[in-house]
Amino acid sequence: MTLYSYLIISSIIFTIGAYGIITQRSGIKILMCIELMLTAANINLVAFSSFNGNAAGQVFALFSIAIAAAEAGIGFAILVALFRVRDTINLDNINILRW
């Protein structure tokens, strides 16, 4: 396995995530896609770290995972609260913050 194979996998995951964010309507799916993109970045971090023999990147990835978890927690909490108020998590219906 070369560095390239990791990078290719990571870019595939990233693209899936980006595609999902643009096309999906459900808030939960969009959050999941954001997690995918974060995972792609983490894979890159770990891959580079491993190939350069420098542990800093892996430590970085650990931090990033922890923060991603916190962020997902807040995101889902917002969605739950939103669902209680508006009875929907379809983002097309949640668009009053605009002109």
Partner 1 sequence: MFGEISALIVLLPVLAFVLTLFLGKKLYSGGALLPIAAIAGSFIISLGTFLEIYPDGMVQQSWPWFAGMNIGILIDPLAVVMLMMVSFVSLLIHIYAVGYMAHDPAKPRYFAETSLFTAAMLSVILSDNILQFFISWELVGLCSFLLIGFWYHKPSAAAAAKKAFLVTRVGDVLFLAGIVLLYVNISEIIATRAFSIEPGNFILQFKTMFEAAKLIDPTQLTLITLLFFGGAVGKSGQFPLHGWLPDAMEGPTTVSALIHAATMVTAGVYLVARTFPMFVATPATISAGVPDALLIVAYVGGFTALFAATMGLVMNDIKRVLAYSTVSQLGYMMLALGTAGAVLGAKAVGISMFHLIAHAFFKALLFLCAGSVIHAMGTNDIREMGGLFGKMKITAITMLIAALALAGIGFPFAGLGMPILNIGTAGFFSKDAIIEGALEYGEVKGDMIPYGMAIIAALLTSIYIFRLWFMTFTGKPRSERHAHESPGVMTRPLMILAIFALLFGFSQAGFYGYVEKNFELMNVEIAVHEGEAFHPSPIIVMLPVIVGVLGILISYAIYNRRMLDMSKIISSGNPIYKLLLNRYYEPKLAADIIGVKLTHDVVAQSGEFIDRKIIDGLVIDNIIGKTVFQLGELVRKLQTGVVQNYASVTLLGLGLLIILLKIRFGGI
Binding of partner 1 at residue 41 (CB under 8 A)?
no
Q: Does 2 bind partner 1 (CB under 8 A)?
A: no
Residue 97, judged by CB atoms within 10 A of its CB (0-12, 13-18, 19+), counts as exposed
- Considering only 17-25, 50-58, 63-71, 75-83, which stretch makes contact with partner 1 by CB under 8 A? 17-25
Helix (H, G, I), strand (E, B) or coil at 90: strand
The span of 21-29, 47-55, 68-76, 78-86 binding partner 1 (CB under 8 A) equals: 21-29
Which residues lie closer than 8 Å to 6 by C-beta, 6 or more apart?
A: 43, 44, 47
**Would you state the structure tokens that stand for residue 17, as one six-digit string?**
């995530």
Footprint of partner 1 on 78-97 (CB under 8 A): 91-92, 95-97
Q: Applying CB under 8 A, which residues contact partner 1? A: 18, 21-25, 30, 91-92, 95-99
